[in-house]
Every structure is written in C-alpha cells, then in structure tokens.
Amino acid sequence: MTGRALVLDGPGACRLTDAPPAAPGPGEVRVAVHASGICGSDRELWEGHRPDGYARYPVIPGHEWSGTVEAVGAGVPEALLGRKTVGEGFRNCQVCARCHAGETTLCTAGYEETGFTWPGAMADTLVLPARLLHPLADGADLTAAALLEPAACVAAAALKAEARPGDRVAVVGTGTLGMIAVQFLAATSPAELLAVGRGREREKLALDFGATSFRTADEPLPDDFDVVIEAAGSADAARTSLGLLRRGGRLVLTGLPAAGAAGLDPTGLVVRQAEVRTVFGAPPAAWAHAVRAFDAGLLDLLPLVTHRLPLDAFAEAIETAGRPGAGKVLLHP
C-alpha cells in the first residue's frame, strides 16, 4: 500500500513524503484520515514558536482530525472497523494521580500530543491508541467532525462554566472557539446570550447559533452576567470578560495570551468575588460531551469551515488561516 504524509523538518520547512500505512500494534488502531484542521498551535509549530518541550521535529502535524477506522491491532474490538471517529490528542500516562482523576490534560508524566511530539493526522493514515478514540454516529459528517477537537476544548469550558437555564451568559471572542461556545451555551436555555467580538463580521453567524445579542468590545458593555466564557486568547479579552461579570459571577478562560501579557487585576477579582476557572485542552469527559452534542445535532460546525485545501498546501493553509475573515481551514489527504 502507498501513502503520503506532510512532514515538518523544522520551522518553515515542510515536505510531502511517501508514508506507507503502518500496522497498528497491540491496543492501537489505524485511521484513514478524512480531514485535518489548522489552528493557532499549528502556526506556532510552523513558525518555531512552540515552547520547549511542546514540539519535537521532524513531526507530522495535525491534532484536529476526523476519519474512519480501517485496521485494528491485537486486543482492540473488531467492531471498531469501519467506524467514523475522532480522537484525543494528549498521550497521557494513565497511571498518575491526575490521570486517575480523569484530568488527563494535567498528566504529571510530561507533555506528549499527537501532531506535536507524536505523528499527527496530516497524512493519509494515522495510528494511535484505541483508548483515545471517540466513535461517531454512522451518519456523521466527517468534514464537520474535523472540528470536534476545538469543540471538545470548548466543551471543557462549558462544563466548567456550569451555566444553568435562565442564567445570563456571554462569550467573548468570535473565532472558531467562540462560535462553538455560543452553541454550547445556547443549549443551556439562557435568559440572555451575548456575543462580543472585535468587529461585526460574525454577528449574523453568532445570532444564527443562538446568541440573543451582539456587541463589539469597544462598545459600552454591561457588567451583570452570571457566566462568561473567554474564547479569544488575549489579555484584553480576559479583562473584557471579567468586566462583563456580576459580583460573584463565574469566568472561564480558554485562551493563551502571549507570554508576559498583563494579567487580571487581583483587586478586581477579590472585590467582585469572581470565580475564575481555566481550560487547557480537553479531558475525556469533555470529548464525550462534545461528541454527544454533535451526534444529537446541537453543534452546527460545518458553517465554520471556510477553506478546504489538499495535503501539500500546508504553507498556504497556514497563511490562509491567518487572514481576516478566515474560519477553519481543513487539509484533505
């Protein structure tokens, strides 16, 4: 059998190479990749800005993906053959205290992740442990499903937000994560759901996804929301999000601002008695939540895809993803 893979030999250096499908080992599966998405972490990998220990060159990128199981290794149920699926990226140790608690993204054994320190999905096939799979419904749209990795990260935020029916909730950020967060919060039947963006390009989409109102960050904003999810990844967005909260409200931060960014004012946190929670990646419970919501039709992910390119167009995909107005960019083998 023949196959191809995109390899990053180092920052700014990529090549398409022959990569015959590997046989899955015990406990592993081989997936025929349908699509792999581009995100900010892939840009960091391309530009060489990943922190030490969070990248290992040469590497096949691709941690956001969907596909179909085409081979199983020893000890893996054959019922998985032919199943549409997505899969977790973090390669946790399964034996530390945090893993046993289900907090696999806090694994104390060190960072290992598909697409950064292990071969990723920008290839015809991907081999990974079967325990990381989250099979999908038979009728799942695999193009939309390629966005389930960012959806799982947002699901982690939604679970930590603990929004209840009738709450007044808000999302700051209108990128892929923000638009998915709007959908998760809309499913909780809020009394009000405000989306806040830097511009109005995605106002209609936010309203279509369930937001009841939309404002830009430079407009006057209220300060009495019960729950706010920050999904923009900047220090300014974090401060805007805190400002939206009522006293005693709950803030969930999902973004990673640049190193050294000015933080939240501790005085404001104390005086407002704000509860701040954070998300880094998605543990299994969040993945399961995202997949259930997707299979139930509660997540409409396809409208977030704006570009679909071939596997050998990685550099173009990185450039395209950084343009104003671009949504999710997918690579197809």
Neighbours of 87 (CB within 10 A): 25
DSSP state of 21: P
36-73 b/e (C-beta count within 10 Å ≥ 16 → b): bbbbbbbbbbbeeebeeeebeeebbbbbbbbbbbbbbb
pTM listed for this prediction: 0.95
User: What is the Cα–Cα distance from 119 to 305, expressed in whole angstroms?
Assistant: 24
- pLDDT single digits (tens) 132-158: 999 999 999 999 999 999 999 999 999
In contact, 68 and 124? CB cutoff 8 Å: no
Give burial (CB, 10 Å; 0-12/13-18/19+) of 286. Answer: buried
User: What is the Cα–Cα distance from 302 to 296, expressed in whole angstroms?
Assistant: 15
User: What is the Cα–Cα distance from 237 to 242, expressed in whole angstroms?
Assistant: 9
In contact, 320 and 309? CB cutoff 8 Å: yes
Q: What is the mean pLDDT of residues 39-50?
A: 94
Q: What is the mean pLDDT of residues 43-58?
A: 94
Q: What is the mean pLDDT of residues 122-139?
A: 98
Residue 39 has pLDDT above 90, yes or no: yes
Q: Which residues are CB-contacts of 151 (< 8 A; sequence separation ≥ 6)?
A: 180, 290, 293, 294, 299, 301
Confidence of residue 110 (pLDDT cuts 50, 70, 90): confident
Residue 120 has pLDDT above 80, yes or no: yes
- pLDDT single digits (tens) 302-324: 999 999 999 999 999 999 998 98
Q: What is the DSSP string of 228-262?
A: EEE-S-SHHHHHHHHHHEEEEEEEEE---PPTT--
Residue 36 has pLDDT above 90, yes or no: yes
Confidence of residue 254 (pLDDT cuts 50, 70, 90): very high
- pLDDT single digits (tens) 158-180: 999 999 999 999 999 999 999 99
Q: Among 117-121, 132-136, 324-328, whose mean pLDDT is lowest?
A: 324-328
Q: What is the mean pLDDT of residues 28-53?
A: 95
Predicted pLDDT at 107: 94
Residue 260 has pLDDT above 70, yes or no: no
Predicted pLDDT at 265: 83
Residue 35 has pLDDT above 80, yes or no: yes
Q: What is the mean pLDDT of residues 101-125?
A: 95
Provide the H-helix boundaries in the chain: 40-47, 97-100, 142-145, 148-161, 176-186, 203-208, 235-244, 266-272, 284-295, 314-321
User: What is the Cα–Cα distance from 77 to 25, expressed in whole angstroms?
Assistant: 13
Predicted pLDDT at 185: 98
* Percentage of the chain exceeding pLDDT 90: 91
Residue 259 has pLDDT above 70, yes or no: no
Q: What is the mean pLDDT of residues 179-198?
A: 98
205 backbone dihedrals φ, ψ, rounded to 5°: -65, -40
Predicted pLDDT at 59: 97
Q: Which residues are CB-contacts of 208 (< 8 A; sequence separation ≥ 6)?
A: 303
Neighbours of 269 (CB within 10 A): 16
Predicted pLDDT at 267: 87
DSSP state of 28: E
* Percentage of the chain exceeding pLDDT 70: 98
Confidence of residue 207 (pLDDT cuts 50, 70, 90): very high
Predicted pLDDT at 99: 95
In contact, 302 and 143? CB cutoff 8 Å: yes
List Cα–Cα distances, 182 to 192, 205, 238, in angstroms: 11, 10, 17
